[in-house]
Structure 1
Amino acid sequence: MIPANKSPLFEWVFHKFNSFFLKRHFQHIYVTGEPPLSRARSLFLVNHSTWWDPLVIFLLNRTCIRSDAYAMMSEEGVQSFPFFRRLGAFSVNQASRRDILASLHYAEERLQHEQAVWMFPQGEEQALEIRPLRFQNGASYVMDKVSNGTVVPIALYYTFQGTRKPNVYISIGTGIPFSNFVHMSRRERTTKLEDIHTSVLDDLKQQVVNGDTQHFQQLL
């Protein structure tokens, strides 16, 4: 497991570059929903369908949510783009059970230290329209180990709308206390998290398709 090596200065510099880079490739990025009142001990779960997702959620966190963020990322991704460690990324190698447990323990420690953790619970990129979302048990495992946390679904939806560049729509779901899941088994909890996220993502898609986006705020 490769730990994060956060640098506030690097985060500031990267935010300038990232904003410019996203503007070159996307028409607009929009968001709806309210961040949790407390970002400490928040576990943000994000559907994963494109290479762009980490850059979009970095922008979202930097400009809207503003958590002290750490993010679980594939070992291959961290090795290919080591600068993500400076932004709070830590690795997971899904081919090694020992490495998975080390990464989940690291996520647990971050939450215990009043920080926030971002995860892609699908474990790998999946087509945006795929159903079921096929959540893995990692988030459920972390929730077993931490008290007084909040899980927050974050849905990302990419679409073209008559422009050369695509738009990105983001929905911040309602935060749910870990205690709401305490009587569930790990598998039941994972299924419940997947159902909640599917509902948030499908509702976001329907709003975009129906043009019901007047309440969205523009991030970019």
Structure 2
Amino acid sequence: MGLWFARFLRRHLDGLSQPHWSAPPPAAHPGPLIIYCNHPAWWDAAVIILLANRLYPGRDHRAPFDAAMLAKYRIFERMGAFGVDLETARGGAQFLAAARAILTRPGAVLWITAQGRFQDVRVRPLGLRPGVARLAELAPDALFVPLALEYAFWEERGAEAFAAFGPPMTAGELAALPRPERLARLEGVLTDTLDRLGADVMSREPDRFRPLLAGRKGVGGLYDLWRATAARLRGRSFDPAHRSAGKSPP
């Protein structure tokens, strides 16, 4: 499914990029990884699956999923998603019980869209759900890693996806804080990561990023077929991109 989602992203987005300052958590970390992120778009699940497949192919990946949505998209259940009722207090207990079992497994990675629902990337405060802070008590050897996600239209017809990892925190240092302060710490580090990523995205400078996946350029369909044919008839190479790499705007 990781390969399928990579093809799907290539077809519908301009690509997936990561800023040069972003470093993913080490795959060799002996304990579980808890990667928590904001939740700006439907594409988040596809980006997470792609990152999981590329960065940690040998680990056991799990992610909470809105139970109502999981009933519509059962394919995600086969890829490690588990249902959580987001509308009742019972959902919090479901999440913690499932997380407790997952985090005891060797090589576990728990991916959490910690806002719990779609939120614009510019919303502040982020309003993370409190359950993510409770996990420090369940997995003392876990590493918590913020992941900022954003999407923007630059030069091509498809949006560009951006992902940036922030500085990791150990469960031990988080568990030493009272729960409200712990949640504030998690939210503050993710906010800082989002703000830094947002500044890079607003710059519209590709050199600030390294591509993780390149998407399809151009308009596509009959129009690009006509453009390619016309270029060949003139003896020229055909570049479907709106603006070729290294070419400045007029």
Q: Tell me whether the two structures share a fold, i.e. TM-score over 0.5.
A: yes
1:54: which partner in 2? 45
Determine what percentage of the aligned residue pairs are the same residue: 27
Deviation at 1:65, TM superposition (A): 3.8
Asked if 1:189 corresponds to 2:151, the answer is no
Larger Rg: 2
2:192 aligned with 1:203: no
TM-score normalized by the length of structure 2: 0.78
Q: How does 1:3-152 map to 2 (within 5 A)?
A: 14-32=1-19, 33-37=22-26, 38=28, 40-66=31-57, 67-114=59-106, 115-152=108-145
The alignment's C-alpha RMSD in Å is: 1.6
How many angstroms apart in 1 are the aligned matches of 2:124 and 2:201? 18
SS in 1 for 2:127: coil
Give the secondary structure class of the aligned counterpart of 2:25.
coil
Aligned length: 207
Contiguous gaps of at least 5 residues in structure 1: 1-13
Which 4+ runs in 1 deviate beyond 6 A?
Answer: none
| Aligned 8 A contact 1:105 1:142 in 2 | no
Instruction: Give the TM-score taking structure 1 as reference length.
Output: 0.88
- Asked whether the equivalents of residues 47 and 121 of structure 1 are also in contact (C-alpha less than 8 Å), the reply is yes
| Offset of residue 186 of structure 1 | 1.3
Quote the offset at 1:91 in angstroms: 0.9
Task: Write the letter of the residue equivalent to 2:50.
Answer: L
Gaps of 5+ in 2: 214-250
Deviations 1:105-162 (A, max 9, x none): 2112211213110111111111121111111101111212221111000111110112
Q: Which string of whole-angstrom CA distances, capped at 9 and with x for unpartnered residues, describes residues 1-56 of structure 1?
A: xxxxxxxxxxxxx2232112111211111124222223541100011011110011
CA distance in 2, matches of 1:15, 1:184: 37
| Offset at residue 213 of structure 1 (A) | 4.6
Aligned partner letter, 1:46: C
Tell me the alpha carbon deviations over residues 64-118 of structure 1, each in whole angstroms, 9 at most, x when there is no partner. Answer: 2434210011001211101101110001102232332122121122112131101
- Number of the residue aligned with 1:162: 155
The structural deviation recorded for 1:173 is 1.5
Partner-residue secondary structure (3-state), 2:207: coil
